[in-house]
Structure 1
Amino acid sequence: MTDVTTPGTPVSAAQLEREADITRRVLESFDGCADPRLRQVLQSLVRHLHAFVREVRLTEREWDTGIEFLTRTGHITDERRQEFILLSDVLGASMQTVAVNNEAYGDATEATVFGPFFVENSPEIAQGGDLSFGAAGQPCWVEGTVTDTAGKPVPGARIEVWEADEDGFYDTQYGDERVAARAHLFTDAEGRYRFWGLTPTPYPIPHDGPVGGLLEATGRSPMRASHLHFMVSAPALRTLVTHIFVSGDELLDSDSVFGVRESLVKDFHEQPPGTPAPDGRDLGDRSWSRVRFDIVLAPGGS
């Protein structure tokens, strides 16, 4: 009697039982784990990993290649570059985890991937402040409100914002100590916020390492759709990690980390040179853009 794990690969019943026995023994090795959640996660991981090995009839050379790939991923990762997050992102694991942990609740704003470029302790700016700190790009006026799902304004919500400059780089990618195109601010008593940032532009995720090699080998682009990162938190409400994307961007359907959600695509309205700025800022002969992003937080959190 035989079974088939992949087309054209017959496997005897005796061989299948030998492989199943290995899985059983590994699963049983975790039976004594005192932490039930850890036991559940590890045993499920073993089941799926062993099923993958058996389904594709993984060769020893392929397994060695995978180990070498993960080793290189670890070697290139440091305090400024997180290659494992990139790997998680391009495999859709990051977005799937976001989906599992952010169930739809009323009209709460959708979450999306965190990405590898968030930095703790960003500078604080006042309402109407400029987070670019000299980063290159077209000025963009961003405004909106933060409310809960009942429509009640959320005063004092912390809004973290970060983005790439017009050359497609985050400040951490320059290798110096600059802090640019990132900051945080707090909503006012009516839950409103406003600041100057940069009009988002498309850029490639870092693709000079193992993850870039994976994308090249599979014919995939490293390009991300134009976006602006937000992380919004307030007591008793679910912390939101999300982006807004630029309407009309040709990469919306092919974002390399699967982060685009239709509800997060916004109109960035181009303003010709000479158009008065909302706060009276003198922009000289520069064009600028403006966008509105009203944020709704789901209940939860501490």
Structure 2
Amino acid sequence: MTKIDYFTEEWSAETVNARMGEDINPRLREVMASLIKHLHGFVKDVELTQAEWETAIDFLTRTGQMCDDQRQEFILLSDTLGVSMLVDAIQYRRPEHATENTVFGPFHVAGAPVLEMGANISLDGKGETCLYEGRVLDLNGNPIEGARIDVWSDNSEGFYDVQQPGEQPTWNNRGVFITGTDGRYWFTGIKPVCYSIPDDGPVGEMLNSCRVPCD
């Protein structure tokens, strides 16, 4: 009999990890073992109550129910917790002097139309017109041909098209541009305006609970 034969508070993670099979994918074993270790450590650190864990399960359930082909509440959750940025920073470590990478965020939609260079992505004609232009270069300053510039923005009221289906035209303020031999890109859109994180779901509830109330 060993200390991990029975589940105890002290050796909970070790007991669970000892139940993993021998022939599983090595990377899966590494990830799951670390997840269980840190998850159990978190529960012990804050001494999570049964009621709090039930609240967490309800939160995750409602987060999943909020997802559809137009909205991904789990990505929003990942973004607000800083996990999306961390995973991206680790996965795509950039050399010195390279442009900073960032995440897609919750409002990117795959399949936006490829447009002619210089096209106007504002389909509703609202907002202050703005010209966007630049060049895509390698680390030696040479232009990159065939770079894919995928752009998307909110409208003049601070909403993305997927937040207002039926009110905004499909692909409003979205488009893809492909650079030529000079690496240049340019297109017309609208001057960016502020927008808030959607607060009509569980992630919004979480953020509102964590905010310091105004005096």
What is the correspondence of 1:190-209 to structure 2 with a 5 Å cutoff?
Answer: 190-209=182-201
| CA distance 1:190–1:133, change in 2 (3 Å) | same
Say whether 1:216 aligns with 2:205: no
- Rate the CA distance shift 1:115–1:174 in 2: closer, same or farther, 3 A: same
Which residue of 57, 77, 89 maps to 1:87?
A: 77
Q: Secondary structure at the match of 1:40?
A: helix
Q: CA deviation at 1:220?
A: 6.2
Q: What does 1:72-111 correspond to in 2, within 5 Å?
A: 72-111=62-101
The counterpart of 2:173, out of the listed 167, 181, 184, is 181
1:131 aligns with 2:121: yes
2:18 is paired with a residue whose SS is helix
Compared with structure 1, are the counterparts of its residues 24 and 204 closer, same or farther at alpha carbon in structure 2 (3 Å cutoff)? same
More strand by share: 1
Structure 2 counterpart of 1:171, from 125, 138, 161: 161
Residues 86 and 115, structure 1, Cα contact 8 Å, conserved in 2: yes
Identity percentage over the alignment? Answer: 44
Greater helix proportion: 2
Cα deviations by residue, 1:207-233 (Å, 9 ceiling, x for unpaired): 111011111111169xxxxxxxxxxxx
Partner AA of 1:196 in structure 2: T
C-alpha deviation, 1:135, in angstroms: 5.1
Deviation of the 1:30 alpha carbon: 2.3
1:200 CA displacement: 0.8
Q: So what's the TM-score if we normalise by structure 1?
A: 0.65
Matching residue of 1:42:
32
Root-mean-square deviation (CA, aligned residues, Å) is 1.7
Aligned mates of 1:63, 1:33 — CA distance in 2: 32
Alpha carbons 1:135, 1:165 under 8 Å: kept: no
Q: Distance in 2 between matches of 1:182 and 1:92?
A: 25
The separation in 1 between residues aligned to 2:8 and 2:24, in whole angstroms, is 29
User: Which residue number in structure 1 is paired with residue 138 of structure 2?
Assistant: 148
Query: For residues 266-285 of structure 1, what are the alpha-carbon distances to aligned partners after superposition, in whole Å with 9 as ceiling and x for unaligned?
Result: xxxxxxxxxxxxxxxxxxxx
Q: Distance in 2 between matches of 1:20 and 1:43?
A: 16
In the alignment, what sits opposite 1:120?
A: 110
Count how many residue pairs are aligned between Structure 1 and Structure 2: 205
Letter in 2 for 1:74: G
Question: Residue 8 of structure 2 aligns to which amino acid in structure 1?
Answer: R
Cα deviation 1:158-202 (Å, max 9, x = unaligned): 111001011111111112362200000111111111111111111
